[in-house]
Amino acid sequence: MQRAQLAHLINISGLPNVELGVIPLAVQSDTPYTHIFILTELEDETVVIIETITAELQVRDPQDIAVYERVLSRLRAVALWSDEAIGFIRAVAEESKQGDNPVRLR
């Protein structure tokens, strides 16, 4: 991840509709993070959007959505939030500036 991307995360974290959470690679979790997904609560339904290399899938089945809600809850529980997340991002950006390690976030 580039320093400009990290700066962008910090900048958008102040928006009223953004909650920034970061899970450092060193954090142990029993919940596997296998692919990108977005849980969106629309006016009349909840949809999970799954991004793959070649497609975007939309999940609308309530039982499947419940699985993603549980996974999201577990991931949120191990994430850094607010000032702690921003501090971590700043530290990672500073580390990358020094060239010691590539910048990687999960």
pLDDT above 90 coverage of the chain, percent: 61
Q: Are 11 and 3 in contact (CB under 8 A)?
A: no
pTM score = 0.75
Lowest mean pLDDT among 51-60, 67-76, 97-106: 97-106
Instruction: Flag whether pLDDT at 46 surpasses 80.
Output: yes
Average pLDDT of the chain?
88
Q: Are 9 and 3 in contact (CB under 8 A)?
A: no
Closest residue by Cα to residue 93 from 26, 28, 10? 10
Q: What's the average model confidence in pLDDT over 28-38?
A: 85
Instruction: Flag whether pLDDT at 7 surpasses 50.
Output: yes
Question: What tokens appear for 94 in the block?
Answer: 């500073």
Lowest mean pLDDT among 16-20, 61-65, 68-72: 16-20
Tally Cβ neighbours within 10 Å of residue 70: 11
What local confidence, expressed as pLDDT, does residue 104 receive?
52
